[in-house]
Amino acid sequence: MILPEYYEFCCRVKTVAGHRALEKISPELVRMNAKKPMIITDKGVAGAGLIKIVSSAISSSKGGKTSVGAVYDNVPPDSDLKIVQEVAKLYRSKDCDSIIAVGGGSVLDTAKGVNILVSLGGDDLMQYAGSGAVKKKLKPMIAVPTTSGTGSEMTLVAVIADHERNVKLPFVSYFLLPDVAVLDSRMTRTLPPALTTSTAIDALTHACEAYTCMAKNPVSDSTALEAIRLIAGNVLNVVKKPGDLEGRLALANGSALAGMAFSNSMVGLVHMLGHATGGACGVPHGVCMSIYLPYGLEYNLHKTSHLTAELLLPLAGPEVYAATPKAERATKAIAVIRKLNQDLHEATQGRHARFLKEVIDRDGKQMVPKDALPTIANTAMGDATQFYNPEDLDFNDCMMVLEHAWEGIPLDLKKVKKGGKGIKF
């Protein structure tokens, strides 16, 4: 096990998981001296009837110590300051004392913003922007993710847009972390297959990158391996049998583990390109991840082949691992990921994209035209995750990877510029 010269690991979030995990929300609130939570969510979640399950689980607790104080179910996908202020106002008027965020990234970011306002007072979120500006414990907050992938319930960052001035305000502080993340299989049961696959592969990417990038550490390694095993072993089954609650829970667990791993060890090339593609062409994050993952591993192969080789075990199981000669394990691992993408592609009747050129929006239009690649590469050069990637990248390198990924052909390893020694952890 590699012990780096120095590492940090922190996961202040309590994880509660299971088929009936929602019922634990109430005792958790009581533990934190809260009685009257406010639920923050978006239309999609509310529309799927998930809020009903959550609120009944909270209210039906023994002794009736907790009850839902208010529900705000109108968080838009690109939430901003105004929404935060609006929700905070509702929170105050209903005298709530804690927050439950049900949903994905946008809901969670909004909830974090609301928590800052209602805990620290005032209406001005600006003064808390930046890293480390929030220095006090905030109100109890519980996150209930409805997709298994983003891992945003484990991150200490919140990004909230100010549409008036057209800026995105980052908030970074350990106190922004939710106190508890509740993973309940009921919350992801109704997720459509395409979304299931992309979020699952998103989590898989987190884990794979956490294991192979610069800031890896023993804790993130352990969690990443566990995550890969859970996801790789279950995703196909769940897509084929959407009602498989055990599988759903395994995916949720895997994504929580992956979230723990990557929020501490950071990620590299795959996310660098992924963020850029999302930013430039609006491709959903999960889709980008599943496309770029094999390329990211391939690009770094000359520096991290020993680590990539180890991924084969959780990805494909011990039999395949033992049967593969040592030197070929890394490439085999990448092949297994490609095969997984292919299988998912088939299982979802083509909705799971394998290559960039396959990515289509709701109207069936290609989302990433080939001439968008330079824009993507340019955006990527401004993404901080590149520093965690074991190998350096410049604009040309990005273009080279993007072109391969667009066409869907494996990377030509000869084109990768190699330099420097192996990485030191």
Partner 1 sequence: MQSPGDYGFFYQAKIMAGTGAMANIPVELDGFDARHPFVLTDKKTSDSGLPRKFVKALGESNTIIGALFDDVPAYSSVSLVKDLAQFFRDRGCDSVVAIGSGPVVDVAKGVNMAVSTGADVLGFEGVNRVPGHLKPLVVVPTAAIKPFDLTGNARIDGRKFSSAFLMPDVIAVDPLMVRGCCTECVLDTAMVSLSHAVEAYLSPSANPLSDAYASMAIRLIAEHLQKSLKRPGNKAASMGMANAAVAAAAAFDNQPVGVVHALGMELSLLTGNAPGLCMGILLPAALEYRRQMKQEARSELLMAMEGFDAYAGTPAGQRGEKGLRSLQLLFSKIAVLPRTLEELRVPRFKADEAIQEALKANPSLKKQDLSAVMGLAMKGVQ
Partner 2 sequence: MMHYNKYPEIKPGLKLLKRMYVVTMLFVFGRAFQAVSRVDRGAKEVFAKMPDDFVLDFCVVPNGPHMVVGKDEKGRIKYMGWNPAGKKVTIYMKIKNMDAAFRMLTFQESSCTATSRDRLIVDGDLPTACGVLHIMDLLEVLLLPKFLAKLGVKRYPKWSQLSPVRKWTSRLLTYVRLVA
Q: Which residues bind partner 1 (CB under 8 A)?
A: 1, 3-21, 24, 31-33, 132, 135-137, 173-174, 217-219, 221-223, 225-227, 229-230, 233, 246, 249-250, 253-254, 256-257, 260, 310, 313, 318-319, 321-322
Name the residue type at position 248: R
Name the residue type at position 308: T
Q: Quick one: what does residue 318 bind among partner 2, partner 1, none, with the CB cut-off 5 to 8 Å set by partner type?
A: partner 1
Q: Quick one: what does residue 298 bind among partner 1, partner 2, none, with the CB cut-off 5 to 8 Å set by partner type?
A: none
Cβ closer to partner 2: 146 or 304? 304
Residues 252-271 that bind partner 2 (CB under 8 A): 266
- Residue 42 interacting with partner 2 (CB under 8 A): no
Distance CA 114, CA 215 (A): 31
Which alpha helices (H) appear in 121-192, and where do they start and end? 185-188
Where is 305: in which H helix or E strand?
A: helix 301-316
Site size toward partner 2 (CB under 8 A) is 30
Distance CA 116, CA 283 (A): 30
- Residue 215 interacting with partner 2 (CB under 8 A): yes
User: Other CB atoms closer than 10 Å to residue 347's CB: what's the count?
Assistant: 18
Cβ closer to partner 1: 246 or 361? 246
- Residue 5 interacting with partner 2 (CB under 8 A): yes
Cα 352 to Cα 202, 286, 341, 356, 402: the distances in Å are 12, 10, 8, 11, 18
Contact 51, 73 (CB under 8 A): yes
Residue from 123, 392, 407, 412 binding partner 2 (CB under 8 A): 392
Nearest-approach distance from CB 139 to partner 2, in angstroms: 25
Cβ closer to partner 1: 3 or 420? 3
Residue from 124, 394, 407, 412 binding partner 2 (CB under 8 A): 394
Cβ closer to partner 1: 16 or 272? 16
Distance CA 128, CA 115 (A): 12
The two structure tokens encoding residue 123 = 């209406």
Name the residue type at position 225: L
- Residue 422 interacting with partner 2 (CB under 8 A): no
Largest CA distance in the chain: 67
Nearest-approach distance from CB 308 to partner 1, in angstroms: 13
Nearest-approach distance from CB 57 to partner 1, in angstroms: 13
Return the bridge partners of 159, or none: 170
Burial label for 267, CB within 10 Å (0-12, 13-18, 19+), is buried
Burial label for 343, CB within 10 Å (0-12, 13-18, 19+), is middle
**Site string (119-148) toward partner 2, x via CB under 8 A:** -----------xxx----------------
Contact 424, 215 (CB under 8 A): no
Q: Quick one: what does residue 420 bind among partner 1, partner 2, none, with the CB cut-off 5 to 8 Å set by partner type?
A: partner 2
Residue from 30, 90, 360, 381 binding partner 2 (CB under 8 A): 381
Q: Quick one: what does residue 104 bind among partner 1, partner 2, none, with the CB cut-off 5 to 8 Å set by partner type?
A: none
The span from the first CA to the last CA of the chain, in angstroms, equals: 12
- Residue 355 interacting with partner 2 (CB under 8 A): no
- Which residues contact partner 2 by CB under 8 A? 4-8, 130-132, 213-215, 266, 381-384, 386-388, 390-392, 394, 417-421, 423-424
